[in-house]
Structures are given as structure tokens and as C-alpha cells.
Amino acid sequence: MYNYTDFDTAFIKERNAQFRAQVERRIDGSLTEDEFKPLRLMNGLYLQLHAYMLRVAIPYGTLNSRQMHVLADIADKWDKGYGHFTTRQNIQYNWPELRDVPDMLDALGAVQMHAIQTSGNTIRNVTADHFAGAAADEIADPRPVAELIRQWSTDHPEFQFLPRKFKVAVTGSPNDRAVIKAHDIGLRMVERDGLAGFEVIVGGGLGRTPMIGKVLRDFLPREDLLPYLEAIVSVYNLLGRRDNKYKARIKITVHENGLEDFGARVEERFALIRPQFTGVDQQMLAAIESDFAAPEFRSAPDTEYQDARRHYPAFRSWADTNLSEHRAPGYAIVTISLKAHGATPGDATSAQMRLMADLAKRYGHDELRISHEQNVILPHVHKNDLPSVYSALRAAGLGTANIGLISDIIACPGMDYCALATARSIPIAQEIATRFDELKIEHDVGPLKIKISGCINACGHHHVGHIGILGLDRAGVENYQITLGGDHTQDATIGERAGPGFSAEEIIPAVERLVMAYLDLRSELGETFLDTYRRLGLAPFKAALYPEARANAA
Amino acid sequence: MPRAYIPKVVTANALLEGDVIYQTATGWSRNLAEAEVLTDEADADLRLIDASQQHDRVVGVYLADVDISGPTPKPTHFREDFRARGPSNYVHGKQEAPKHV
């Protein structure tokens, strides 16, 4: 993984010192809140419902055991002993005190981490496939490119005051695990005639006006990436609406100007600035790539793994559910569920963080990843080590075998923490997971993505959930709307609104009716919820959701 | 006929800790039960201005509706209820200190 240069280290140190002085000036009254707010946001510090919240970047979701240990130490020393992993591969601390934040940032800086550009109208933390460098279906590791984009965008003088926040995601696999079509810019690594390049997707996003991104270039040569990105963001910076924050994202810019016109402006700008990129960026990329060299995988039979599968049903269930195919023979990708039934999705205690770090160090080539689905990944584990890994995870409450199942729910912090939220998300996720655990049908239901947002900004990605739930405030009461048929993959689709919303008391039974209807409707055991929905459409699911409407019509 | 004025409290977040706080007759409290209830619109506006000028202590001052039919003021909206009680997913935040709830 990437190691800071002397320049990076000095930059972070100087930036933290600058922020420390700004905090001191806020506390002694030299800065008003109006003056201080943009400065704290530039360093990832929000003021939420109950407390400050510090959002720390985990670039492309990659970290090592030492970094994870420091995240745990920070949780213990300056927060309440836990951290919350988010849908953008960040970690958030929900309870820091203002005067402690500079110390937190220094602790992060000591392990090459920071909170810069995790807030504000700028290019945010670059995200990537959480199986990067490990997945069997990967064309190339997207992380060196993501790191290049991070270096290019961090404190880029032209892009510190964009019309709105700007999010870039990269995948190196044809199977999209990075939700690239719901980002301002999505990059998919492709090969054409032996040349490496990118499919460039622009103008995707969820929120108030959900849109699936459009292909701006079906093939962009690798060496043109940075100038082309710079051209896109420059055109957006110029054309993006600043009169209305709800129309300021690039998806609206592309929609209002048309893809063709927008693309023509990008090409014009690209032609102008391309000569300024004389190859230094490619030299940097080559250096970064050497930092991401694959670990040395060992060659050994997986006898112990096979034995454990035969003798321990709980291990077999976990292995069948939480492992993914690795590109190296004998290895597996482990997804550690942060979704124990009834737990807060994405939360990990400091003890759990330390355990995951230790497992990565001992069994996983010292690598961890955070997924946009709020789980933690050990990307490289030899199969013979899996019984030991599982045993340790289980003892720490991290052995839940539910990846991709109904209780593996994305849920934004909602009104339990977030100042913008209009309803709670987490308790709904907790109750759904608990209910289906009680029913013991989770594995029978099979792959099903429920995604919950506590407001229209859609941090919980509800639009692309197979079952999406949006919490709203209806006349002072929490109300939950359901969307169906959303998909976050390479076949990205915005879900269809099912009908009127449900109260907090009604939403869990409503989801249960939906799932029971699916079990009745599926044509065969292997037909997933999404397949069934696509085959039959909204009507039978709507009938399950609103049985009283059917009764009244009869 | 003019609509009856809904009683209010002045609320904000503490500058240093970020905690939800309420203006009392003499200062600030983390306990809604100790908040000064404002039943007159002009008084409420004046108290809001007073609170808004305390830049060195508080952030994000505003007036929140309360129900005063019981012995202590209660929030009328669920958002203010969560602000007064703390998050509902864990027993933490204000819930760790019952005297503050």
C-alpha cells in the first residue's frame, strides 16, 4: 500500500498545526462560528445532532493493521470506544470534543491518515472496489489509480470551492462493487486492443434527484486520465449551478446541458490542458504501483480448510456466506460482518478493531479494507487459516454469517446522530435484522440488499437497494417509504417507489410481507428477490405491501 | 383570532463538547427539564438574541417548541426528543447520565 513521502508527511503536519491554531482561535473567541465552520469542515469536523463528528478518510478503503490499531486507540482515548464505518469507506467518530480534535488528527497523521476533504464542496475521499488487488474477476488493481487521483485532488487549488461535493469511484473489475454508476465520476478499468484504459461514467448520484451515470468516454487511454478528470471537474466548476444547492451536483449539470454538450466542453478543455501533463503523472503512477505490489502468496493445499468444512457446520455456513473468490489458488477474501443481528450497521468497538487488525497482521498480509457496505475485509487469507480466523471472529461477536443477506443492511446514521436526517435509520435496520434472525429464514431468502436512508440525501443508498427504505418526517411523525428493484451493480437501477409510506411500527411487518411474498412468488429456489422482481414487476409486491388496498378494491 | 403561541425553549450545542444544551434563567443546562420556558413571543425573541451572542460558549442557537402540559417541558417533535434523550440505538450519550435526561 501507499507510503507517505517526506512531502506528504510535512504537508499533513503543517495542515494539522494550522487547524490546531484555528481551533485555539475559535475557543478563545478570535474566530466566530461563521468564520470557523468552513475551516473545520475542510478538516472533516462536523457538528451533528448530539456532538461533533470527525470523519476520517480511508482512501479506497485500504488500511494496514497499524492504522487500524490507531483508529481503535483514538476511539478509546477521545471518543466512546467505537467507530462507525461509512458507505464511503470512511470512519466516523461520533463524540469527539472540539479541543481534542487536533490531537486526534496528529495521531492519524502519525500513521499516514487524515481527514482532509472528507467534507466540503470539494473532491471527496476516492473510493474503490473493496476487493481490489484480490478479486478473481479483476482486470487490474484500481488502487494505484485511486491513489494518483487522491494526490492530484488533495488541496488542488482549483477544486476547493466546487458548486457541491464531488465523489469519484474506481473499479478494476467488470463486476461493479464500487457503485461507480452512482458517483459524480465513475471509472471502470478496461482493456482495448491490449491497451489499458478507462470507461468514464459521469453524472451519477443518488439523493434528491437520483440518476444513473452516463458514459462520457467508452475508452480513455490510461495516460490521459488526470488531464481528462481535470477537464471534467473544470467544466463542472464553471457550469455547475451555484444558485440552488439542490441543483448543484454534476448530475444536474449534465442533465441540463445534455451529455453531448457537456462532453464537447470537456473535450475542448481536455485538448487545451493535455499538453501540460508531460508525463510526470505517469511516473508518479508507476511509483505508486510499486507500493501496491501483490503480497507473496504461499502455495499449500487447503486440507485443514476442507476438514473444518466437513466437521463444523457453523464454519461451513460462514465460509459459504462470507468468503469470496481470490485470484490466488488456495486463498480467499474474507468479509467480516459488522452487522451482527440487532447491532448498528458499520459500528465496531475498539476491541473489535484491534482483533481485526491482529488477524490481518497474522493471517492476512497486513491488509484490511473497508467496504461501502459497511463491513471489513481481509483481502488475502490462505484457506487453511480460515478456521482460526473464524474462531477468533466469532469470539469477538464478528462471526455473523450474513454477507449479502437480508440482515447485511446498509444504514446511514439517520436521526440518531445526523443533523440533516428526517427520521431514524439504525433502529429500523436493527429491527429488520432481529426479526429475520428470529424467523430463521435469512439463508433461505438468499441474496437480498436492504438499504436504508434517514433522509433524502440517500447516504444509505436506498435508491439502489433491492428493497430501499427512506425515512421522512410526515407531520412530525417518522414515516418510511419503500422503493423496490434498485440495483447498485454494473446493472445499476434506481428503485421504483412502491406507494404510501409506513409508520415506524408498520415498516418491519411491511418488509416481512414483501419477503414472504417473494418466497411464494419465486419460480425456483435459486431465483433471487431481484430476479423475481424483474420478472414480475411491482404489482404482486405492491399487493403484499398494501393488502388493505386490495381488500377495499374487492 | 390570533393563534396561540406555542411555548419554546432556547436550545443549542455547547461549543467545546457539542452537547445539546438548553438556556435556563441564569445560564445553560444539558437537562431540558431545567430549561426556561418562554410563553411570550417577544420574550422568546429577546432570549434567542441573547443566546446567539454567546459565541464563545454555544453553537447553532434556535427556539424549539415544547409541551408544558406536564410537570416539566417535553419536546413536541421527535427530533427534539432524540436531542433531549440521546441516540436510540445504544445506551450512550445522555442516556449514560440519567440525571441529564
User: Which of B1, B3, B26, B7 has the alpha carbon at shortest distance from B64?
Assistant: B7
* pLDDT over threshold 60, residue A128: yes
Nearest to A427 among B13, B18, B89 (CB): B89
Q: How far is CA B25 from the centre of its chain?
A: 12
Res A554: pLDDT? 59
A44 to chain B, minimum CA–CA distance in Å?
Answer: 15
Pairwise CA distance, residues A208 & A251, whole Å: 11
Domain ranges of chain B: 8-88
Percentage of the residues of chain A whose pLDDT score is greater than 90: 98
pLDDT bucket at A46, cuts 50 / 70 / 90: very high
Strand-pairing partners, residue A335, are: A377
Mean pLDDT of B23-35: 96
Res A549: pLDDT? 74
Q: Which residues contact residue A187 at a Cβ distance below 8 angstroms, ignoring those fewer than 6 apart? A: A142, A145, A168, A169, A170, A171, A180, A198, A199, A200, A201, A225
Q: Which residues contact residue A335 at a Cβ distance below 8 angstroms, ignoring those fewer than 6 apart? A: A322, A323, A324, A371, A375, A376, A377, A403
- Cβ separation of A415 and B77 shorter than 8 Å? no
- Cβ separation of A97 and B16 shorter than 8 Å? yes
* pLDDT over threshold 50, residue A370: yes
* pLDDT over threshold 50, residue B101: no
Give ipTM to 2 decimals. Answer: 0.94
Res B100: pLDDT? 44
pLDDT tens for A470-514 read 999 999 999 999 999 999 999 999 999 999 999 999 999 999 999
Average pLDDT of chain B? Answer: 92
Mean pLDDT of A257-264: 98
**What separation in angstroms does the CA of A381 have from each of A212, A337, A377?**
35, 16, 10
CA atoms within 13 A on the CB side of A281: 23
Mean pLDDT of A399-410: 98
3-class secondary structure, A160: coil
- Cβ separation of B87 and A48 shorter than 8 Å? no
pLDDT tens for A312-342 read 999 999 999 999 999 999 999 999 999 999 9
pLDDT tens for A48-81 read 999 999 999 999 999 999 999 999 999 999 999 9
pLDDT bucket at B92, cuts 50 / 70 / 90: confident
pLDDT tens for B35-91 read 999 999 999 999 999 999 998 999 999 999 999 999 999 999 999 999 999 999 988
For chain A, domains (ranges, CATH) are: 6-109 (3.90.480.20), 142-290 (3.30.413.10), 303-395 (3.90.480.20), 410-553 (3.30.413.10)
Pairwise CA distance, residues A352 & A369, whole Å: 15
- Cβ separation of B20 and A415 shorter than 8 Å? no
Amino acid at A279: G
- H helix intervals, A342-483: 350-363, 386-395, 426-439, 442-445
* Strands (DSSP E) found in A271-413: 323-325, 331-336, 347-349, 368-370, 376-382, 410-411
